[in-house]
Amino acid sequence: MRKGYKQLLAEASAEIETLAVDEAIALHGAPDVVFVDLRDPREIERDGRVAGAFSCPRGMLEFWIDPESPYAKPVFAAPNRFVFYCASGWRSALAAKTAQDMGLAGVAHVGGGFTAWRERGGPVEPPKARPA
């Protein structure tokens, strides 16, 4: 049976922690919380990002989490809480489910994503100015 994105999102959402944007904003700046930006680098260049977020393009997530991968990133080996986000919360919900399935502890995602974060006034690093 074929599963569409809506079913995949519903299944993921039933198994992961979704933070309301105000809850996520309250966690920002905590020393043991890492915000993980799953958006494409072009989105970050265009829109900015959550201040201090670690950039992990969605296509690299599994490779960066797995300690046996040649691409493993030390940030994912640290005993932190990981708050994933994307533009609207769809990619981050699926990514949080994948990370959880891979054994990464303390994973949640921001409902509404970066769009909701920015609208609620969460701390944002603006896009870097491009050289002329």
The confidence score (pLDDT) of residue 76 equals: 97
CA–CA dist 116, 78 (Å, integer): 28
Q: Is residue 23, in this structure, part of any structural domain at all?
A: yes
26: CATH: 3.40.250.10
Taking Cα atoms as reference points, which of 97, 89, 83 lies closest to residue 114?
Answer: 89
**Which pair of tokens denotes residue 109?**
């995602």
Residue 115 included in any domain: yes
Residue 5 placed within a domain: no
Per-residue tokens: 31: 């020393």
Ordered per-residue pLDDT tens for the chain, 132 residues? 899 999 999 999 999 999 999 999 999 999 999 999 999 999 999 999 999 999 999 999 999 999 999 999 999 999 999 999 999 999 999 999 999 999 999 999 999 999 999 999 999 999 887 666
